[in-house]
Structure 1
Amino acid sequence: MSVELKNEEEAKKFFEKTVKVCSPKGLVLNHNQRKTVMKILKEAAEKAGRKFIEMDLSVIQEEKIGTTIFEDEVPGWLKNAFENEKGGYVVYLREFHFASDRVKNDAMNLMIDKGVGDKKFPPDTFVVLGVMDVDDMPSALSNVHTAKFYRTR
């Protein structure tokens, strides 16, 4: 599925519905509206009774997004999404463009696997990977739904 969102109102309606039914489980969002996207996702999570987790991928340490070879555990910033299943979560991974290649790879694996290592996200968890139009790596994610939301001038 690929969706093109033309304005803020359309994006708001799309995310309110998508977060509420939690289908699909994850989405790659191509956008150029950082503050607007953050606001829309927070509001959609709140309206659906879900908690909101956001992570700036540009500042995260390489071993703190996925599992490491030696440890099969969920990173601390994501633990609540796995341990506190009641109500669900919206997880927003932002600043993909500025992240290291290892973090980008781990973020894409998180989208593909719908979890970390062998631990799958609880049923009411919706993950959004925010990317810029110049990011070509996520285009390799053929089994992940996408949306585009660009400000036009």
Structure 2
Amino acid sequence: MSDERTLVPQDGEYFHAIGLAAVAFARLEWDAVWCCERLDPGYINTIEQKKKTAGTIAGDLVGFFERIDNVHLKAKVVPFAQEFAAVVVERNGLLHGKPATAPNGDQRLFRHGEEWSVSKVQAFADRCVVAGTPLNALLYAEFTEPCQIALRAK
């Protein structure tokens, strides 16, 4: 194996922040997938088959949550799905960012001319964890298997 990867300017703190953000987002995304799965058994099998992106999954989650028959539960969970959808947009800004040199000379990712600084990446990772916590909690409370949540027809 060669070491071409070492040609990329290395910044341990930045790479750590980006790696943690990627994992935090993946955990959030799979909490969303599992919520969809509990509400629509077999959903998980459609992820790869239909090449669903995070944006598609967010739209599906919003759609399922908005179809929950119980108005109190629906009011509780719809904001969780909306937050996931918003985090997906922010994630796209990070993971589809463009590499460039920051004013101080550091190599960073940019989106629409804005630098993804270490603190901004860390804040994004925090947002992912905060957004995932209530989705994960649903899996062990209202959405436990076998899930008995009634959905209105489309």
Q: Scaled by the length of structure 2, what TM-score is found?
A: 0.25
Q: Radius of gyration: which is bigger? A: 2
Q: Which structure carries more strand by proportion?
A: 1
What TM-score do the two structures reach when normalised by structure 1? 0.25
Larger relative helix fraction: 2
